[in-house]
Amino acid sequence: MGILSTPKEADTQAWGLLNLYTMQKRKWTQYEEETLIRLYEDPKVFPKDIAKMLGRALQQVYNKARAMGLKAPMERIRMAGKIGMQHPKSIATRFHKGHIPTNKGKKVSPEMYERMRATMFKKGRINENKREVGSERVNVYGYIEIKVAEPNRWRLKHRIIWEQVYGEIPKGYNVQFKNHNRQDCRIENLYLICRADQIAKENSYWAKYPKEIQELIHLKGIVNRAIHKAEKNGK
């Protein structure tokens, strides 16, 4: 890292390092988790848009979605696939018309087939990991999810319970827990909150950073005021 010639350059670099650190280290809030759950499976919303909305790195969005068991919708996967198919590298590595597979006309030997048969799926076999519609599970972040449809479609239980009593959740609102217990889905423990109020409550300017970062921000404010005062007095 070279020597910075002006206080402005040093200030810009310090803020850049601070933003990078906080982006990587700050914990996910309930608002961010619920936003990810709501948008990740929307075929019209891409992960890069979610990352920009939440101020997160794209890889953080992918990692968090994977940890929460979220799946990208097939419509978005197909759309991304169509875009990827037009890439020159994709075109260059395709099988072209007239290509002959190396195993064309070859049959599996009886000895090989016998070895393979032991691990073949039998007709009518049911996957032991399959969960019936209505089944519940707890995801890695403590939220209870209910399977609502096939194949493998899950929704948050507390949102379902709220909608059963009060109807569809209005756009721009989230359901939260009064006692902060994410598995206590009793209707009397749930309340509706506007996302703007939720952000102000959970993701305030000071509260979203670790204590050491809060101290840096405070010190930066002192330095900025001192620089501003010095520049003003020097005019």
pLDDT at 231 over 60: yes
DSSP conformation letters of the chain: -PPPSSHHHHHHHHHHHHHHHHHHHSPPPHHHHHHHHHHHT-TT--HHHHHHHHT--HHHHHHHHHHTT----HHHHHHHHHHHHTSHHHHHTSPPTT---TTTT----HHHHHHHHTTSPPTT---TT---TT-EEE-TTS-EEEEEETTTEEEEHHHHHHHHHH-SPPTTEEEEETTS-TT---GGGEEEEEHHHHHHHHS-TTTTS-HHHHHHHHHHHHHHHHHHHHHHHH-
Q: Do 198 and 139 lie in a common domain? A: yes
**Who wins on pLDDT, 25 or 2?**
25
pLDDT tens digits, 17-36? 555 555 556 788 888 888 88
In a domain, 96, yes or no: no
Output phi, psi for 121, to 5 deg.
-70, 130
Q: Do 227 and 165 lie in a common domain? A: no
Q: Do 39 and 58 lie in a common domain? A: yes
Task: Give the end of a domain, one of 51, 70, 85.
Answer: 85
Kindly report the CATH number assigned to the domain that includes residue 50.
1.10.10
- Do 140 and 67 touch, CB atoms closer than 8 A? yes
Output phi, psi for 224, to 5 deg.
-60, -45
What integer best gives the mean pLDDT of the chain? 78
In a domain, 46, yes or no: yes
What pLDDT does residue 211 have?
67
Give residue 44's pLDDT band: very low, low, confident or very high (50, 70, 90): confident
Return the closest-CA partner of residue 71 out of 49, 51, 43, 34.
Answer: 43
pTM of the model: 0.43
In a domain, 4, yes or no: no
Kindly report the CATH number assigned to the domain that includes residue 164.
3.90.75.20
Q: Do 192 and 139 lie in a common domain? A: yes
What pLDDT does residue 166 have?
94
In a domain, 91, yes or no: no
What pLDDT does residue 186 have?
95
Q: Do 194 and 208 lie in a common domain? A: no
Give residue 4's pLDDT band: very low, low, confident or very high (50, 70, 90): very low
In a domain, 118, yes or no: no
Give residue 213's pLDDT band: very low, low, confident or very high (50, 70, 90): confident
In a domain, 15, yes or no: no
Report the domain count for the chain.
Answer: 3
pLDDT tens digits, 47-76? 888 888 888 888 888 888 888 888 777 777
In a domain, 179, yes or no: yes
Q: Do 135 and 181 lie in a common domain? A: yes
pLDDT at 165 over 90: yes
What pLDDT does residue 1 have?
44
Q: Do 172 and 235 lie in a common domain? A: no
pLDDT at 160 over 90: yes
pLDDT tens digits, 94-149? 777 888 888 888 888 888 888 888 788 777 666 666 788 889 999 888 899 999 98
In a domain, 177, yes or no: yes
Q: Do 165 and 144 lie in a common domain? A: yes
Q: Do 196 and 230 lie in a common domain? A: no
Range(s) of the domain holding residue 136: 130-203
